[in-house]
Amino acid sequence: MPELPEVETVVLQLKNKVVGKKIKKFFLDYYSSRNFKRIGKSTLSDLEGKKIDKVKRGGKNILIYIGEYILLIHQKMSGPLVYDNFGLKKKVYLGDELQKHIHFCIFFEKYALGLYDTRVFAKVVVGKQEEVENSLKIGIDAMSDKLDGKLFHSLLLKRKMRIKPFLLDQTNIAGVGNIYADESLFCAGIHPETVACKLSYLQGVKLLGCIKKILQQAIKLKGSSISDYVDIEGSRGQFSLMHKVYQREGEKCVKCGSIIKKIKISGRYARFCPKCQKWLK
């Protein structure tokens, strides 16, 4: 968290807010500096005085293009970005501790973009464009038009791991995390412990269709607000209201009435309906 829909929501908003704006200066405190990485000889000072050319999403990463450089932000477990007036005044939706937890900030002429990170997990990277893009090491994007049923099934056949960890592994496909993996597997009627390479071509096509459909729905609703996630304007995502299995363990399945279960697979939890989702052993 945040996953593809939450990051896409932020990227779309940043395109409207910061593209074309000139960077005055940066703020990086001690806590965030532990998660700050320079690729090559690039530094934040190389970016000062330059305009932001474009903003893109790379999997779960926010890529801010500034001249020949990229500023990468990965929000990790939390890390909402706050777009506010100069000085980052306290805002109600983040409580009274806003100023305390802004560990990284980009200052423009009248506004600032701050990274609110209570757990200090978020990652910031700066480097030349090619160097940063090559460092991502992620698979094809889950929303890419190039990711069709044939390609997706070929990826499944290469892996003998269970399907839930397969979907979470960003080197397979990029952007899907815990929330949307659980929801997509429920949509496709596939048990999270099913081994990826055992899925038939038709099952793979169905699962991919569910992934793309659910991600698109979530983007329209600005993602899922779990914990402290909000977009850059402080609004909570509404897809949380649409969850069928995620964080619904112990509740009744919306399809069959069975009780949603929660198990741990490869160190991560999975929620599923034992009746609606078939396990191919």
The DSSP code for 256 is: T
Catalytic residue among 2, 5, 80, 165: 2
Catalytic residue among 60, 206, 248, 271: 60
Tell me phi and psi for residue 98, to 5 degrees.
-55, -55
Question: Which residues have CB under 8 Å from 130's CB, separation 6+?
Answer: none
- DSSP per-residue string spanning 117-160: -SS---EEEEEEHHHHHHH----EETT-TT--HHHHHHHHHT--
Catalytic residue at 60?
A: yes
The Cα-based distances of 225 to 3, 53, 94, 251 in angstroms read 11, 29, 13, 20
Number of residues that make up the chain: 281
Catalytic residue at 57?
A: no
CA quadruple 264, 265, 271, 276: dihedral, nearest 10: -130
The DSSP code for 80 is: -
- The total of other beta-carbon atoms located within 10 Å of residue 64's CB is 23
Catalytic residue at 268?
A: yes
CA 259-261-266 angle, to 5 degrees, is 170
Exposed e or buried b for every residue in 214-228, given b needs 16+ CB within 10 A?
A: bbeebbebbbbbbeb
Cβ atoms of 201 and 207 within 8 Å: the answer is no
Catalytic residue among 21, 261, 268, 274: 268
Catalytic residue at 133?
A: no
Catalytic residue among 3, 6, 8, 183: 3
- The total of other beta-carbon atoms located within 10 Å of residue 240's CB is 17
Catalytic center residues:
2-3, 60, 268
